[in-house]
Structure 1
Amino acid sequence: MTNANPVRVRFCPSPTGNPHVGLVRTALFNWAFARHHGGTLVFRIEDTDASRDSEESYEALLDAMRWLGLDWDEGPEVGGPHGPYRQSQRMDIYAEVADKLLAAGHAYRCYCTQAELEERREQARKEGRPSGYDGRCRDLGPERIAEFVAEGRSSIVRFRMPEESITFTDLVRGELTFSPRDVPDFGIVRANGAPLYTLVNPVDDALMEITHVLRGEDLLSSTPRQIALYEALAKIGVGNGGVPRFGHLPYVMGEGNKKLSKRDPQSSLNLYRERGFLPEGLLNYLSLLGWSLSEDRDIFSLDEMVRAFEISAVNANPARFDLKKCEAINATHLRELPLDAFREACAPWLREPFAPWAPEAFDQVAFDELAPLAQTRLTVLSDITANVDFLFLDEPVRDEASWKKAMKPGAREVLASARERLLAADWKAEALKEAVLAAGEEHGLKLGKAQAPVRVAVTGRTVGLPLFESLEVLGRDRTLARIDVTLERLAQEAD
């Protein structure tokens, strides 16, 4: 791309419900394409459906983009020369364009009732013909129109599709051709005067000088309609006369090889935020849903993606969302954080509402000591809570499954021996390990078996941070007190 023809792309979600990962993937690819070519990302809100759109969802969209770090060059909170960027604030523009399309003959009023439309569709289906609109009102004369008006019929505005095939080169899928029999005339304005997506989307693209449209494969069938409308808009002087180039991104498939939908729990962006995914980890994985930096690299930064991203390298085949791989990639990004950044990222999960301990019980120094060990083990940031809660609670969270696994016959004797040796040990991790190892050898056990009852006694769980470093930070008195409580419970169970 050259500066003479700058790239201008748009991300234009509707504020309905919570943002989902498929939407984020679309935003990411548009953002990366714009940044790669030194172009402009226009963030536009398609909120013309008052029955479904909400201010809460609008704010959630902006918050999601900020959290992801996907900045925009024109749009809400930023402004720009083509505003306003919310379609609900552009209704006068759409009404004026619709009037121009009608006056120029590119659109017409359709007086067909829903019952008539359905009857003719059903007949077409029976006869094996396309069941789209049959053009009944395309060329109504003044007298017929007057009759319909006298009957009190309402009308919608339909766009008049050209009668020749439409061919375009999709940036992902190559050359595609649509026959006119498969793309009938379509509505652009409702009977109540409200503009439809089919009108407002191309009008905004034309007026905002969009050069490339990168969007989901599910919208591919509407592309020939939009191309025809762009060409009509150019003829009536709306926009700069250009038709954007299209690239349709592959479907994201979920469980059961079905298209991932907003109703699937794993599609919700909020889920990943609440679990503590890093934005860079989640975006790294989402970029792999149809694109890759190279065949042998799954882990990379957003800067690396921007430098390498080409829409022509996107794979047209459906991409499967793999939560386990998403988690693994996020875990790698967690490990690559500078330690101070990791500590800061953990902070929300170390206080209310996530932390089960009182705020005054939190010990920053103790957490800082164990943070390097935690960083190598977490998958998501929310994992930190259960990994360090034993430090800040009076008693550890007792996991009964862990208790049953560790407190088998003989555990009481091993734990008593370990307590005796820990009492006399220098309170450093290596010395504590030697003490438990010796207790295990006394009972014919290797370290792994010997330390299990100690871990559950002190932390409440069979898995967690390295045990002996944890004991060192927890301290002698608290460690021995928890072992005593455990020995007492084991004695009671034995009675």
Structure 2
Amino acid sequence: MTITTRFAPSPTGYLHVGGARTALYSWLYAKSQGGKFVLRIEDTDIERSTQEAIDAILEGMEWLGLNWDEGPYYQTQRFDRYREVIQQLLDQGKAYKCYCSRERLESLREQQMANGEKPKYDGHCRDAGEQDGDYVIRFRNPDEGSVVIPDHIRGDITIANSELDDLIIQRTDGSPTYNFCVVVDDWDMGITHVVRGEDHINNTPRQINILKALDAPLPEYAHVSMILGDDGKKLSKRHGAVSVMQFRDDGFLPQAMINYLVRLGWAHGDQEIFTLDEMLEHFSLDGISQSASAFNTEKLIWLNQHYIKSLPVNDVAKHAKWHFEHQGIDLSQGPALEEVIAIQADRVKTLKELAEISRYFYEEYDEFDAKAAKKHLRPVAKEPLELVKQKLAAISEWKPENIQAAINETAQQLDVGMGKVGMPLRVAATGSGNSPSLDVTLNLLKIDQIEQRIDKALKFIADRENS
């Protein structure tokens, strides 16, 4: 048997954190078992499904690196198959036409609630035969016995059939319903393991009964607990970013996101940081916790910092490039992005921040940071700037050690501390008082750029003196 899992989102919005974690768990289980991972778009809710949402789901999956082996399949392209199976159930007496009016059903519901009973269909049309008028088609649920859901996370879940009613599997307009489509899809696609949110537990016994009626094999189930925000309430927009692509936009690496998501409900000892190979080696459905998980943004930031610093710069650059371009920074006008990352990685939490603080490598800054200029571009800095400009211009081979030597010589010649040269030069070269060490920073700039920026700083000092 080939282990086959699926991720089956409804395209009514973005790929959210909970969906991404479910997709990751499904993907990891299939890949760790040498199996297949299927992507299925459950778009039967035609009014709410959009192409924009489909694109957002596919983009999110691709960004996370969760490649699928089959699909994407679309339920709206399989209506003929659903009708065929519905007709089969009708022919076998396992489904029937229900002609009950909306008024009758509402009255029944009100009466049951008034009696303190669980509202459910009473089987009125089970044996009524053909009639005139509009109808839905209902599945004839077993009256007796129980459904046992073998769940990898929660153990066996038992639900009495008396708790279930006869599910509508086709609406009056002829369209099939969600719970029925899922059953046929899982059967046809050979799904062996269904990993999904705990909000589907109520659907599972209904789906199992339909699978049994079709003599179809039953998949194994793993119902994953919900994700909570820091305040203990279900994760939602009020907690900040919940869309996977919003995390991309905010400057997170997919490697950090995957590492964070896998630990959001699953553990392997006390290990926090996992390579993809380690995830595939250790992951199991039985290792997923029953408890709800709390989303901790600070933990994700910590992981992101780790990956920015520890991944090969080429890997970081692939994702950082988007942020530089998104901020309108022309990477052709400066050093190789990999060189900038190499000296900036220790200084940032996100790729967005990396782009923001690296702009001076690729374009001229408009003005100095006010606080840094006030402190360091004072009249006393004029002489050090003029002299270091000359010494930098005299360097024959432009490399960090020669740049540092020029700065040291300036300080020695003027008999001042290194800060009296270095800080005015840093503000002149970068526009602010923060940068990596000056030797590696200036090494990525051109001498004519540095000279122009020193002249700009000298003019600032002169204007300050004359004001």
CA distance in 2, matches of 1:474, 1:308: 46
How many residues get paired?
457
- Match for residue 422 of structure 1? 388
Distance change >3 Å, CA 471–CA 35, structure 1 → 2: same
Answer yes or no: is 1:206 the counterpart of 2:179.
no
1:293-372 aligned at under 5 Å gives the runs: 293-295=268-270, 297-351=271-325, 353-357=326-330, 362-364=333-335, 367=337, 369-372=339-342
Q: Any residues of structure 2 matched to 1:199-348 within 5 Å, and which? A: 199-234=180-215, 241-261=216-236, 265-295=240-270, 297-348=271-322
Instruction: Go from structure 1 to structure 2 and tell me whether the alpha carbon gap of 1:418 and 1:89 turns closer, same or farther (over 3 Å shift).
Output: same
The CA deviation at 1:93 is 1.2
Q: Is the 8 A contact 1:425 1:431 kept in 2?
A: no
Q: Which amino acid aligns with 1:284?
A: N
Q: Indicate the SS of the match to 1:307.
A: helix
1:21 matched to 2:43? The reply is no
Q: Which residue of 2 is the match for residue 237 of structure 1? A: none
**Consecutive unaligned residues in structure 2, runs of 5 or more:** 396-401
Aligned match of 1:107: 95
Alignment of 1:138-157 (within 5 A): 138-142=125-129, 146=131, 149=132, 152=133, 154-157=134-137
Q: Aligned AA for 2:140?
A: R
Residue 96 (structure 1) shift = 1.5
Please tell me whether residue 177 in structure 1 is matched to residue 177 in structure 2. Answer: no
The Cα shift of 1:459 comes to 1.9
SS at match of 1:205: helix
1:278-326 superposed Cα distances (whole Å, 9 cap, x missing partner): 322221111111112331x211111110111110000111112222322
Distance 1:28 1:332 in 2: 21
Could you tell me whether the CA contact under 8 Å between 1:20 and 1:269 is conserved in 2? yes
Q: Distance in 2 between matches of 1:368 and 1:86?
A: 41
Per the alignment, residue 461 of structure 1 pairs with: 432
Alignment match, 1:12: 8
Conserved? CA contact 2:391–2:406, under 8 Å: yes
How far does the alpha carbon of each residue in 1:257-290 deviate from its partner, in whole angstroms, 9 at most, with x for none? 3222478651112223334433222211111111
Instruction: Determine the C-alpha separation between the residues in 2 that align with 1:275 and 1:441.
Output: 46
The offset of 1:247, in angstroms, is: 0.4
Q: How does 1:33-182 map to 2 (within 5 A)?
A: 33-76=29-72, 85-131=73-119, 133-142=120-129, 146=131, 149=132, 152=133, 154-163=134-143, 164-182=145-163
User: TM-score, with normalisation over the residues of structure 2?
Assistant: 0.86
Aligned partner (choices 434, 442, 460) of residue 471 of structure 1: 442
Q: Contact 1:94/1:200 (CA < 8 Å) preserved in 2? A: yes
| Kept after mapping to 1: 8 A contact 2:192/2:218 | yes
Give the conservation status (yes or no) of the 8 Å contact 2:373–2:432.
Answer: no
2-structure distance, mates of 1:89, 1:284 = 35
Offset of residue 491 of structure 1: 5.5
- Mapped to 2, the partners of 1:408 and 1:263 lie a distance apart of 40
**Alpha-carbon distance in structure 2 between the residues aligned to 1:123 and 1:438:** 95
- Deviates most, 313-322 or 255-264: 255-264
Aligned residues: percent identity? 34
Q: Distance in 2 between matches of 1:382 and 1:124?
A: 57
Larger mean CA deviation between 301-310 and 45-54 belongs to 45-54
SS at match of 1:272: helix
Partner of 1:412: 378
Alpha-carbon distance in 1 for matches of 2:414, 2:348:
29
- Maintained 8 Å contact 1:414/1:439: no
- The alpha-carbon distance between structure 1 residues 130 and 493, as it changes in their structure 2 partners (threshold 3 A), is farther
